[in-house]
């Protein structure tokens, strides 16, 4: 179902469950992504005359509270805008028509805006049917009073032109090319062309190599203060080099003066500095905050549940493997709740003040690069004018599948834990999903297996029985890539790499792949465990290495993924082929597997617990950061906002009370580590597009042939044809817009979840049958929530109505 800046009416019409506020099931006011809220000025005519599509993410929490209170009074159909889509052409980048259907009243209002535009003092809010005009006006005007003029909004794209973030090994950002350039350039185009291919290439690669080497030395020996100081200095040296080069050669360039598209693209990326735009003191402070937060995260320890007064130095649990082991294996509700809270107390809670200072400096760097905030600068790295809208479009595509999976898992968990889960509210306690962050549910497969008597598989035992160790697992992964005619990468897991947790020193165990900027040194850092999960992760990390190798001959500024999501998707595409029964049988890790319909559903459930379950988390981590960077949520509401997103989008809730003394986002590595997370969401979509294309190329899947094996049974191991196609796309690096790289591989030019849905269709069909009619359950949950609501109505809505009258009289 297409949604966000324009939507198709909900399935079942405006009187359906989705339209009446039960979409998704766990949020009576509907998901923040399915509310179809929009900006408008506080004017009763403009309210319906000048819609600017956005979401309520980032609005003051008071406004959301009002919206939720009104939902108790008016749980009726929403006004759903209809965006025009012309034929088979790309989805329009403007909206030619809005159609608003006001539920049972059947009244329609039409507006014909051209390009969606920003309203600095506007607000976005859902409009509902009964009392639609009053409700929309009330909430809109309330928010207009609470949101300061000029406040940044989500997804403000379209007026900037080409603005690219995260390019090149040093994560540069390009400014608005229209403002940067031109006749006052110090050097002409032929000189810059020669300089880029010669002196700059050598000097930039060397400076990057020194910085990456220093970072590697520190990150693999965290308590070594000398290495920490060298790392800080190397970062400052790199920033100084970038600033000097920019000031001398690049700041006044006009990309249009360069006829060669490869040179022009480099110039576009070089037009801005990224965080190097900060002065030396600010940059040193920013590095310091980042290092301190990463160190807090990586050295955090907790006492085990059975000995909560332990000596942390001697008996404390580290995250990997101890804490993660408890979260993945324990089925003790209270032990999991204790461990969940203890980890957040030891990690995120301790870095909240540092993160506030980090946000201030990141935003200062973004403004220096002609962006409104760092969230906007990060989004610009995807080179699409409507990035936020595109993410919404993808989420709408996959939401029905996620809703069915969530329902099935929630019911199975309730059957297992019973009253421990508390009253039914449609939410899953976040600590019982087999993962510290609830992002992957694969570890609770034993509790949710669709057909316990059918064949299932876990090759962990086979890996251990066949005496696999870390090195053998990496070699097996390398062999998969070379079987496709791709490049070998022994150096990445050789003596200079770290593939097992070292003894006697602290290390960030989170798996990562490293490009040392010299076109020959590529390494893996990972604390490998011999199990199926890490076998899959190894193939993912080796995908990064393969991508590095494929584009290593591109110019320095173009040695990067086509967009941030591409890099994450490469290895996951391979893992889709590796982690299926057909391939595991072929490499001797799976025997006696009965390939029945039931066993196929079991296999797809395993994959869905990893891939589909991840999607909302992959989306909301950066949604939270975008709101924080934009100032749409105050420091005093950071943690509350985090849990609002977790509940509204993911359908999970905290197992214990949370407050603003906590900082739960900081308990996830990528937040203190300053890594974009939306790239993982994009990769989760892209990998299925890649996979489908490679399966077709390998002759393993024929979409138009009803006799073809289903997509999920494809294995392109040993396919040189698939490898050649993959290689050709990867070798482009960032030399072309990502849509061109995507078209090279798939024939498509846009992100689309159709391939993912095609892959999981047999499971989706099973889930729909197993879950039955969700409407009755949704109604029951909603009724239980609204029981006893009159007191709330009186307490909340009367003051709100009075406030609305005051606003209207201003």
Binding residues for Zn(2+): 540, 544, 568
Q: Which of 506, 670, 758, 793 is catalytic?
A: 670
In whole angstroms, what is the distance from residue 292 CA to residue 273 CA?
24
Given a contact cutoff of 8 angstroms between Cβ atoms, the answer to whether 760 and 687 are in contact is: no
Active site residue 670: yes
Kindly tell me the sign of the dihedral angle through the C-alpha atoms of 89, 92, 97, 100: positive
3-state secondary structure (DSSP) of residue 632: coil
Return the H-helix or E-strand segment holding 790: helix 790-808
Return the H-helix or E-strand segment holding 227: helix 225-245
In whole angstroms, what is the distance from residue 645 CA to residue 648 CA?
5
In whole angstroms, what is the distance from residue 20 CA to residue 74 CA?
9
Phi-psi map region of 165: left, alpha, beta (phi>0 left; psi -120 to 50 alpha): beta
Give the 3-state secondary structure of 639-688: HHHHHHHHHHHHCEECCCCCCCCCCHHHHCCCCCCCCCCHHHHHHHHHHH
Q: Which of 268, 383, 541, 700 is catalytic?
A: 541
Select from 348, 287, 577, 650 the least CA-distant residue to 585. 577
**Lookup result for tokens 């990060």:** 378
Phi, psi of 38 (to 5 degrees): -150, 165
Q: Beta strand 165-167 with 52-53: parallel, antiparallel or unpaired?
A: unpaired
Given a contact cutoff of 8 angstroms between Cβ atoms, the answer to whether 168 and 558 are in contact is: yes
3-state secondary structure (DSSP) of residue 223: coil
Q: Is 405 exposed, middle or buried (0-12, 13-18, 19+ CB in 10 A)?
A: buried
Distance of CA 663 to the CA centre of its chain: 19
Kindly tell me the sign of the dihedral angle through the C-alpha atoms of 226, 232, 236, 242: positive
Q: Tokens in use for 173?
A: 């950002």
3-state secondary structure (DSSP) of residue 165: strand
Select from 205, 12, 212, 5 the least CA-distant residue to 113. 5
Q: Is 284 exposed, middle or buried (0-12, 13-18, 19+ CB in 10 A)?
A: middle
Q: Tokens in use for 438?
A: 């609830």
Select from 568, 777, 575, 753 the least CA-distant residue to 679. 568
- Each residue of 646-676: b (16+ CB within 10 Å) or e? bbbbbbbbbbeebeeebbbbbbbbbbbbbbb
What secondary structure does DSSP assign to 189-205, as a single string? HHHHHHHIIIIIHHHHH
Q: Is 624 exposed, middle or buried (0-12, 13-18, 19+ CB in 10 A)?
A: buried
Residue-level length of the chain: 810
Binding-site annotation: residue ranges:
540, 544, 568
* Cα end-to-end distance, the chain, whole Å: 40
Phi-psi map region of 476: left, alpha, beta (phi>0 left; psi -120 to 50 alpha): alpha
Residues with active-site annotation: 541, 670
């Amino acid at each position: 179902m297409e949604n966000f800046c324009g939507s198709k009416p909900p399935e079942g019409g405006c009187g359906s469950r989705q339209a009446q506020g039960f979409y998704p099931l766990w949020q009576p006011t509907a998901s923040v992504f399915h509310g179809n809220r929009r900006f408008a000025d506080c004017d009763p005519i403009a309210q319906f005359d000048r819609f600017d599509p956005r979401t309520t993410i980032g609005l003051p929490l008071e406004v959301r509270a009002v919206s939720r209170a009104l939902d108790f009074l008016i749980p009726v159909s929403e006004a759903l805008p209809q965006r025009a889509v012309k034929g088979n052409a790309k989805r329009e980048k403007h909206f030619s028509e809005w159609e608003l259907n006001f539920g049972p009243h059947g009244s329609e209002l039409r507006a014909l805006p051209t390009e969606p535009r920003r309203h600095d003092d506007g607000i976005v809010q859902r409009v509902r049917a009964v009392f639609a005009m009053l409700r929309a006006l009330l909430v809109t005007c309330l928010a207009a009073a609470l949101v300061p003029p000029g406040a940044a909004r989500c997804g403000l794209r379209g007026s900037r032109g080409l603005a690219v973030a995260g390019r090149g090994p040093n994560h540069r950002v390009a400014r608005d090319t229209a403002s940067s350039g031109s006749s006052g350039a110090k050097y002409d185009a032929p000189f810059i062309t020669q300089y880029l291919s010669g002196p700059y290439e050598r000097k930039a690669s060397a400076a990057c190599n020194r910085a990456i080497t220093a970072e590697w030395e520190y990150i693999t020996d965290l308590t070594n203060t000398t290495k920490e100081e060298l790392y800080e200095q190397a970062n400052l040296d790199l920033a100084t080099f970038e600033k000097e080069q920019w000031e001398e050669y690049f700041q006044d360039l006009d990309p249009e003066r360069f006829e060669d598209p490869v040179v022009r693209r480099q110039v576009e990326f070089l037009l801005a500095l990224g965080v190097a735009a900060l002065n030396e003191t600010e940059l040193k402070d920013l590095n310091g905050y980042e290092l301190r937060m990463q160190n807090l995260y990586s050295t955090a320890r907790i006492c085990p549940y059975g000995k909560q007064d332990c000596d942390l130095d001697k008996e404390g649990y580290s995250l990997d493997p101890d804490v993660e082991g408890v979260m993945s294996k324990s089925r003790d509700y209270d032990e999991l709740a204790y461990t969940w809270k203890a980890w957040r107390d030891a990690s995120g809670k301790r870095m909240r003040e540092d993160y506030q200072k980090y946000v201030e400096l990141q935003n200062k760097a973004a403004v220096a690069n002609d962006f409104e905030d760092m969230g906007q600068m990060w989004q610009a790295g995807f080179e699409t004018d409507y990035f936020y809208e595109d993410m919404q479009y993808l989420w709408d595509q996959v939401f029905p599948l996620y809703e069915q999976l969530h329902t099935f898992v929630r019911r199975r968990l309730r059957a297992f834990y019973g009253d421990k889960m508390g009253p039914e509210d449609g939410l899953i306690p976040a600590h019982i999903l087999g993962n510290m962050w609830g992002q992957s549910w694969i570890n609770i497969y034993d509790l949710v297996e669709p057909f316990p008597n059918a064949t299932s598989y876990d090759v962990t035992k086979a890996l251990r029985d066949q005496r696999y160790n870390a090195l053998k697992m990496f070699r097996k992964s390398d062999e998969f890539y070379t079987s496709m005619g791709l490049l070998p990468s022994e150096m990445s897991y050789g003596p200079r790499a770290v593939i097992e947790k070292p003894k006697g020193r602290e290390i960030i165990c989170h798996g990562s792949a490293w490009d040392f900027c010299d076109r020959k040194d590529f390494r893996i850092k990972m604390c490998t465990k011999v199990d199926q999960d890490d076998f899959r992760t190894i193939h993912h990390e080796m995908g990064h290495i393969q991508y590095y190798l494929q584009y290593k001959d591109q110019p320095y500024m173009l040695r990067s993924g086509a967009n941030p999501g591409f890099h994450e998707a490469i290895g996951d595409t391979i893992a889709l082929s590796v982690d299926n029964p057909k391939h595991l049988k072929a490499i001797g890790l799976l025997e006696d597997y009965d390939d029945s319909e039931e066993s196929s559903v079991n296999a797809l459930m395993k994959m869905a617990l990893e891939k589909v379950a991840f999607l909302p988390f992959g989306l909301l981590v950066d949604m939270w950061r975008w709101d924080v960077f934009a100032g749409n949520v105050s420091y005093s509401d950071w943690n509350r906002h985090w849990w609002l997103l977790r509940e509204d989008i993911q359908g999970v809730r905290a197992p214990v009370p949370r407050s603003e003394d906590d900082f739960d986002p900081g308990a996830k590595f990528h937040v203190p580590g300053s890594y974009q997370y939306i790239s993982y969401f994009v990769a989760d979509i892209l990998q299925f597009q890649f996979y489908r294309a490679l399966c077709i190329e390998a002759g393993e899947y024929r979409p138009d042939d009803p006799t073809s094996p289903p997509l999920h049974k494809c294995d392109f191991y040993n396919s040189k044809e698939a490898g050649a196609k993959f290689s050709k796309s990867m070798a482009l690096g960032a030399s072309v817009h990502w849509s061109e790289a995507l078209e090279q591989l798939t024939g498509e030019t846009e992100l689309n979840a159709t391939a993912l849905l095609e892959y999981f269709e047999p499971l989706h069909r099973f889930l729909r049958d197993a879950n039955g009619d969700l409407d009755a359950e949704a109604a029951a949950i909603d009724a239980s929530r609204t029981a006893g609501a009159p007191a709330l109505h009186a307490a909340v809505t009367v003051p709100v109505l009075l406030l609305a009258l005051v606003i209207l009289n201003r």
